[in-house]
Amino acid sequence: MPADVGKAAALLFFAVVLQLSIMAQITILGGHPNLLLVTLVCIALLRGAVFGAVAGFCAGLLADTGVFGTLGFTALLLTLAGYWTGRYGETTGRDRAHAPLLSIAVITFLYEIAALVLRYMLGQNAPGSATFAGLVPTMLLNLLLTLPVYALTRRLLRPREWAAREVRLLG
């Protein structure tokens, strides 16, 4: 477990740095790839809801710190993203080959909408039209990132034996 925490922390730190300094300025057809979200979703899928939520909170806080953003903004969104993905990974999505891609597609959609609503509530710039116009390209870019990121994450964090644990619990 401590080794997992170390690996996930290193992976997320790397993702935060890349996201802030490189990915945030990439725009393709109005879409913006979100490497941090993709990495978090992959980690949450492999390590479950609580791990995903805590990882999301810490990574979000680091991201908010790095760009002088509203502290807690990204942390809140990534906590929820990590939790929901983790739950999906523990239940319906376990051992499904399409789980990473499906999770990314759904979470990207929800993340963008939630970010828009939160920005609107905080009185920040929240252009709905630009968000919706860039939603599909952002989703596609994140899906493209998912394949290598999930492969790397899976290599570093071996999938848990969910099934074995369930049998033990029932037994």
Instruction: Give residues in contact with another protein (CB under 8 A).
Output: 13, 16-18, 20-22, 24-25, 27, 32, 49-50, 53-54, 57, 60-62, 64-73, 75-76, 79-80, 83, 115, 119, 122, 124-127, 130-131, 134
Alpha-carbon distance of 96 to 163, in angstroms, equals: 13
Packing angle, helices 2-21 and 128-156, rounded to 10: 140
- Give me the least distance between CB of 171 and another protein, in Å please: 26
Alpha-carbon distance of 150 to 72, in angstroms, equals: 26
Alpha-carbon distance of 125 to 96, in angstroms, equals: 38
Alpha-carbon distance of 141 to 150, in angstroms, equals: 14
- Give me the least distance between CB of 22 and another protein, in Å please: 5
- Give me the least distance between CB of 54 and another protein, in Å please: 7
Pick between residue 28 and residue 163 the one whose CB is nearest to another protein: 28
Pick between residue 96 and residue 135 the one whose CB is nearest to another protein: 135
